[in-house]
Amino acid sequence: MEAVCGRYRKMRIMSWFHSSTAPVDARNHASPAEVVACFQDQGNVLSQLAFLITGDRATADQAVVEAREITLQGNSPFRDWLFEWAKAATIASAISHGTEAIRVREAAYKDQRCLHVEHLSQGDSEERAASLDLILGTDAQTLIAELDPLCRAVLVLRLAIRSSLQDCTLRLNVSRAAVLAANCHAMTWLHDSHARPVEENHDASRAV
């Protein structure tokens, strides 16, 4: 049964990465050594992204290993996109491990609505980078305690690989309404987290 689940998980992850069958210049693609080096050099970031989704360190590490092996066994990604590919593959693997925990939260958002138009925007590249740095720098256990698995998955997808809300709906296999509501919750948390350091610095200066 475990072997069957493993094959199914691999099929789901690989379905995220449709590649062209047209001839390509192999010189533009990463070599196996470069793939391994990328997963090693960026291992902490990849493991943290997976951990924020799975909520379990051992499962997160397993997701990174699976993503690396799938990358090595499949069509080699473009060298310039290797880190982006590694993030996407790792996130896909982590979500495949956390599917049940993610989907069980869908019902909690069925009657919730997002009234914040600004939550539909992902911001520019600098804003996303700053937000991604914030969640990677936040104590993971605190983030996991404050956001449920669906919120965390949407947050990571939106910030780490710039997934649209529709893409989140498809990848997480939940309703668009649930994704919108979970995204609203995640964006509110993110906004509050951005504001918190400013407030803390202000309070510290007043104390002095």
pLDDT tens digits along 92-104? 999 999 999 999 9
The distance in angstroms from the start CA to the end CA of the chain is 62
The β-bridge partners of 78 are 29
Residue type at 183 in one-letter notation: N
Residues 147-176: pLDDT tens digits? 999 999 999 999 999 999 999 999 999 999
pLDDT of residue 124: 66
Q: How far apart are CA 206 and CA 208, in angstroms?
A: 5
What stretches of 98-175 show up as alpha helix (H) in DSSP? 99-103, 125-137, 140-146, 149-160, 165-172
pTM: 0.80
Residue 134 is inside which H or E element, if any? Answer: helix 125-137
Q: How far apart are CA 169 and CA 166, in angstroms?
A: 5
pLDDT of residue 74: 85
CB-based burial label for 125 (10 Å; 0-12, 13-18, 19+): exposed
Residue 51 clears pLDDT 60, i.e. is over it: yes
pLDDT of residue 21: 37
Q: What is the mean pLDDT of residues 20-25?
A: 45
pLDDT confidence bin for 127, thresholds 50/70/90: confident
Lowest mean pLDDT among 112-121, 122-131, 188-197: 112-121
98: nearest Cα among 48, 152, 139, 136: 152
Helices 32-41 and 43-54: angle between axes, nearest 10 degrees: 70
Residue 145 is inside which H or E element, if any? Answer: helix 140-146
pLDDT confidence bin for 205, thresholds 50/70/90: very low
Residue 12 clears pLDDT 80, i.e. is over it: no
Residue 47 clears pLDDT 60, i.e. is over it: yes
Residue 89 clears pLDDT 90, i.e. is over it: yes
Q: Please tell me the total number of residues recorded for the chain in this structure.
A: 208
Taking CA 173 as the corner, what is the angle to CA 167 and CA 178, rounded to the nearest 5 degrees?
80
